[in-house]
Amino acid sequence: MATKIITIANQKGGVGKTTTVINLAHGLTLHGKSALVIDLDPQGHCARSLGVKSEGGANYLLSMGLGQSETQFVKQQIRNTNRKNLWLIPGDVSTNHAQTTINSANYPVSWIRETLERFTGNGLDYILLDTAPSVGGIQERALWAADLLVIPTSAEFLGTDGVRNISQMLVKLQKNLGWQGSLLGVLPTMFMERIREQSASLTDLEQAFPGKVLAPIHRAATLSECPGMAQTIFEKDPASRAAEEYGMFVKEVLRY
């Protein structure tokens, strides 16, 4: 199996991107796959969620060249998460410097895809990219790098508005820049069906993206507690509804 690149993105923050990346990555490894998470968000929350120190690995990945010595240095930024077959290239505030470099030097839209090729093959099944909500050079290039795109969203107006913005960007990438990836799905997160607005927003999403809205992840206190304990939901509460729902999502990803 060729290495698949999965980008997790939305132009709104607080919609569960990092939670989705961490639990998807760990869930894939529990099915015998190998996964490398790359944190492209300057907040560096992937590292904290996995119990790893936030560092500037993502900055080096994005800003260094593709030569042999640069590649060797970048590969040294991979961190062990103490979970079988799950690795991380952490990010921190220095990722902002990489975005400035990318924009000022006008790197091609294919840049992130090109710099990730040093990791593909060699038995690695998945690369997962966590992205910042801000629009900029990194997000556009992370979308173009994706074989599969997942858009987590809260089931409310501002969250779904971010989904529409991302989908418009995808249309431009396909028409103007030859993006060949596909939308795996829109993932409603922190869902509460008893709130009328959220049920209505879910219906709107299903109408706007027929066949692409995944089964929702319900709001759960146990999910919000996971980062502080540096655990995934499969570690903290494997019998919970949240673990069951993320498990179903993992199985959906494995179908591709």
Q: Characterize the bridge pairing of strands 79-83 and 86-89.
A: antiparallel
Report domain 4-254's class. alpha beta
Report which of 155, 180, 152 is spatially closest to residue 166, judged by C-alpha positions.
152
Tens of pLDDT, residue by residue over 190-199, are: 777 767 777 7
**What is the pLDDT at residue 200?**
79
Q: Are 99 and 138 in contact (CB under 8 A)?
A: yes
Please give the model's pTM, rounded to 2 decimal places: 0.94
The domain limits of the chain are 4-254
Give the pLDDT score at 247.
98
Strand partners, 151: 186
Tokens linked to 113: 């895809």
Q: Which residue has the higher pLDDT, 165 or 220?
A: 220
- pLDDT score of 95: 93
Residue range 55-103, pLDDT digits in tens: 999 999 999 999 999 999 999 999 999 999 999 999 999 999 998 889 8
DSSP tag of 203: H
**pLDDT tier at 203, thresholds 50, 70, 90:** confident
Please give the average per-residue pLDDT across 208-213, as a whole number: 88
Q: Give the chain's length.
A: 256
pLDDT-based confidence at residue 161 (cuts at 50, 70, 90) = confident
